[in-house]
Amino acid sequence: MTVQDAAKYLGISVNTLYVWRHRRQGPPSFRMGPGGRVMYRRELLDAWLAGQEKADSRSNPALNPLNTAPRSRGPA
């Protein structure tokens, strides 16, 4: 997928995708061809999205801090 296709697929702006790529934060990408066009694989976008969902406490009950008992501070 091109950057434009990947941004549309993810529901974000092209600029956001470029910023993430520059910061090495977003989904995996690669350069292809003589001009070095930035490309994305759909299956890697899906895997990256799944990882983001698992890392979010709102969609992963195991990470929700409200699901754990409060810790005591110990003796003062």
pLDDT of residue 55: 78
pLDDT tens digits along 30-51: 999 888 999 999 999 999 999 8
- Give the domain extent around 47: 3-61
Domain assignment present for residue 73? The answer is: no
Per-chain mean pLDDT for the chain: 86
Tell me the whole-structure pTM to 2 decimals. 0.70
* Over residues 48-59, mean pLDDT: 80
User: Packing angle between helix 14-23 and helix 3-10, nearest 10 degrees?
Assistant: 100
What's the total number of domains in the chain? Answer: 1
* CA trace torsion 59, 22, 43, 54 (10° rounding): -20
pLDDT of residue 14: 96
Domain assignment present for residue 76? The answer is: no
pLDDT of residue 61: 67
